[in-house]
Amino acid sequence: MNYQTANIKILPNSDKLPFVEYYNSLTNSKYVKKGEFTVRGYLLDQISEITGKKVSTLRRWITGEVTPSYLEQQAIADLLDSDMYILWPNKK
């Protein structure tokens, strides 16, 4: 991890957005130096680390194609300082 990546902070979901909307609300610079993360990239890296899932799986969660398991949703909600029922409102 380089210096700039270490300064990236995961923002809490204070607007109480569903996961897809929260992700899309994050800034995403297309031009970063090799080895550095965008805010979105850093979030995906952190979620991948806590869930043990590949980024390709996370991208399917973002598109809504697949829904994470209950435990994965809870881990992501904890990371974002949010509630899993806010992040995934269609969950029953």
- CATH class (in words) of the domain with range 3-26+34-87: mainly alpha
Tokens for 36, please give them: 């550095």
For the chain, the first-to-last Cα distance in angstroms comes to 38
pLDDT per residue over 71-87, tens digit each? 999 999 999 999 999 99
- Predicted TM-score (pTM) of the model is 0.81
pLDDT per residue over 26-48, tens digit each? 877 666 667 677 888 889 999 99
**Close Cβ partners of 80 (under 8 Å, ≥ 6 residues apart):** 10, 11, 12, 13, 22, 87
Contact at 8 Å (CB) between 57 and 66? yes
> Band of the pLDDT at 1, cuts 50, 70, 90?
very low
Tokens for 4, please give them: 């700039």
Separation CA 16–CA 71 (nearest Å): 20
